[in-house]
Amino acid sequence: MRFTGTMKVNAKGNLEIGGCDTVDLAQNFGTPLYIMDEAYFRANCRAYYGAFNKHGADAVYAGKSLLTLSICRIVDEEGLSLDVVSGGELYTAIQSGFPMSRVYFHGNNKSADEIRMALAAGVHRFVMDSFDEIDLLDTLAQEVRLIANVLLRLTPGIEAHTHEYVRTGQIDSKFGFVVPNGQARDAVNTVLSRENLQLRGLHCHIGSQIFELKPFGDAAEILLSIARQARDENGWVCEELNLGGGLGIHYAEGDDPPSIADLAGTVIRTVQDTAARFSVPAPKVLVEPGRSISGPAGTTLYTVGSVKTIPDVRTYVAVDGGMGDNPRPALYGSVYEACLANRPLEERTAKVSIAGRYCESGDMLIWDAKLPLPRVGDLLAVGVTGAYNYAMAMNYNRFPRPAMVLVRDGEAELIVRRESYADLIRNDVIPGRLRKQHD
């Protein structure tokens, strides 16, 4: 596991993050525990702010990767905008006091209630995903006598994930309006014909954990070709071009993503050059990073509960969490790296597999990790768990979800309380006829 952000080994020989000894964190807050390195999270926000916002572009933090009230406060303080994809994420942003003038509302099937909530809150942009949604937003905006500002999510016919990058003429996706078959153009015309909608720009999101910059530039060109067409046909000027999120991060050996500055250089330059070539005004560039801001700043701390060796087969090291706090390995086969937080420098002589405690054979956090042979009671730190871990956490097997602490300058502050057993049954209801009779 790479030491990043404020991670280091302290004088006691333990892993330290944000100036806090992880052994103390485990003692004070229990395990499993999500640890968020505040300085690192802020540094990632600043890298985007410096590369985009300072050049007339805008970085929008994708809240779906990790959103809590405190995270909203930090993103606000760092001056980034915020993407939400649900009523729940919007509610979190509202409750944190995040300025709605910097909120973008996504989602491929927003409900009428969610749209009403967003109209009332005054979100900055609605990103439209279907013709039905265009109708719904127009109707609901009319009801409250508002003009909703709209971006259209397009499917440019590019899909990129890590090293795979495909251009397909026709893309099969639940998201967005397809460009190659003319639906994107129809969607532009539809929005332009609606009285309560104002079309501000175009959007696409071509994938996640992307290691190449070319697909971002290619997507920008395809979006701008739609902008040019709409300018020629309707005189519409595309003010904003939103190229989505997706910049990859380093999870494990071999992952070598481009930098935030390189991403900015490529997309800003491509948009300017292409707009000039197409003789359309260069729109404002937006990106929506999630993983590359929150991911590297998070670490999960577990306690080892059992070490089981099957001779000539494998050693299973079971920890007190698993797919409930990090579903990504089970969902996508994602690879993580780890270290023993209470003896991070010891020689890594063993090859062991880290198992979760959920009743599912697929609940394996790491296969074949190189570690000092773990013992019961050791603390295992898994790195780069800030994105899509807490956000995807679940209560399978009725395990309460872990707490999250924000660490900075030797101080650890709780930002998400550990769930209790009482929390688990809070919404359960027993109808009268099933109640246990007391005599």
Ligand X SMILES: *Cc1c(COP(=O)(O)O)cnc(C)c1O
Instruction: List, by residue number, the catalytic residues.
Output: 359
- DSSP of 101-162: GGEEE--SS--HHHHHHHHHHT-SEEEE-SHHHHHHHHHHHHHTT-PEEEEEEEE-SEEEEB
19 alpha carbon, distance to own chain's centre: 26
Which stretch in 50-58, 61-69, 156-164, 309-317 sits in contact with ligand X by CB under 6 A? 61-69
Query: CB of 387: closest distance to ligand X in angstroms?
Result: 6
289 is a contact residue toward ligand X (CB under 6 A): yes
Which position among 41, 52, 72, 106 is part of the footprint of ligand X (CB under 6 A)? 106
Residue 263, token pair as written in the block: 């991403």
Q: Based on CB atoms, which residue is closest to ligand X, 342 or 389?
A: 389
Which stretch in 73-81, 187-195, 240-248, 313-321 sits in contact with ligand X by CB under 6 A? 240-248
Site string for ligand X, 132-171 (x = CB under 6 A): ----------------------------------------
Cα angle 301, 364, 32; round to 5: 20
Query: CB of 86: closest distance to ligand X in angstroms?
Result: 12
Query: CB of 396: closest distance to ligand X in angstroms?
Result: 23
Q: Which residues pair with 303 in a beta bridge?
A: 379
Query: CB of 331: closest distance to ligand X in angstroms?
Result: 14
Which position among 89, 114, 288, 320 is part of the footprint of ligand X (CB under 6 A)? 288
Q: Which residues pair with 197 in a beta bridge?
A: 148
Three-state DSSP state, 425 = helix
Q: Based on CB atoms, which residue is closest to ligand X, 290 or 329?
A: 290
Three-state DSSP state, 41 = helix
Task: For tokens 């993580």, name the residue.
Answer: 336
296 is a contact residue toward ligand X (CB under 6 A): no
Q: Based on CB atoms, which residue is closest to ligand X, 364 or 392?
A: 392
For residue 277, what are the contacts with CB-CB under 8 A and spacing of at least 6? none
215 is a contact residue toward ligand X (CB under 6 A): no
Which stretch in 253-261, 286-294, 305-313, 373-381 sits in contact with ligand X by CB under 6 A? 286-294
Site string for ligand X, 297-336 (x = CB under 6 A): ----------------------------------------
Q: Based on CB atoms, which residue is closest to ligand X, 155 or 303?
A: 155
- DSSP of 210-236: B--SHHHHHHHHHHHHHHHHHHHHH--
- Rounded to whole angstroms, the Cα distance separating 268 from 275 reads 11
337 alpha carbon, distance to own chain's centre: 19
Query: CB of 434: closest distance to ligand X in angstroms?
Result: 41
Q: Based on CB atoms, which residue is closest to ligand X, 26 or 115?
A: 115
Q: Based on CB atoms, which residue is closest to ligand X, 45 or 247?
A: 247
Three-state DSSP state, 320 = coil
291 is a contact residue toward ligand X (CB under 6 A): yes
Query: CB of 291: closest distance to ligand X in angstroms?
Result: 3
The percent of the chain in helix, strand and coil, each rounded to the nearest 5, is 35, 25, 40
- Rounded to whole angstroms, the Cα distance separating 337 from 250 reads 10
- Rounded to whole angstroms, the Cα distance separating 209 from 188 reads 29
Three-state DSSP state, 168 = coil
Q: Based on CB atoms, which residue is closest to ligand X, 155 or 196?
A: 155
Angle between helical axes of 87-96 and 69-77 (0-180°, round to 10) = 60
Residue 43, token pair as written in the block: 């540094």
Which position among 35, 62, 154, 379 is part of the footprint of ligand X (CB under 6 A)? 62
42 is a contact residue toward ligand X (CB under 6 A): no
Q: Based on CB atoms, which residue is closest to ligand X, 149 or 303?
A: 149
Which position among 244, 322, 327, 374 is part of the footprint of ligand X (CB under 6 A)? 244
Which position among 246, 296, 356, 402 is part of the footprint of ligand X (CB under 6 A)? 246
Query: CB of 170: closest distance to ligand X in angstroms?
Result: 20
Which position among 18, 215, 245, 327 is part of the footprint of ligand X (CB under 6 A)? 245
Query: CB of 228: closest distance to ligand X in angstroms?
Result: 23
C-alpha dihedral, 228 to 230 to 231 to 234, nearest 10°: 160
Identify whether the C-beta of residue 81 lies closer than 8 Å to the C-beta of residue 290. no
* DSSP element (H, E) containing 412: strand 411-416
Which position among 65, 190, 270, 299 is part of the footprint of ligand X (CB under 6 A)? 65
Query: Could you tell me how many residues of this chain bind ligand X (CB under 6 A)?
Result: 17
Identify whether the C-beta of residue 131 lies closer than 8 Å to the C-beta of residue 153. no
- Residues within the interface to ligand X (CB under 6 A): 62, 64-65, 83, 106, 205, 208, 244-247, 288-292, 387
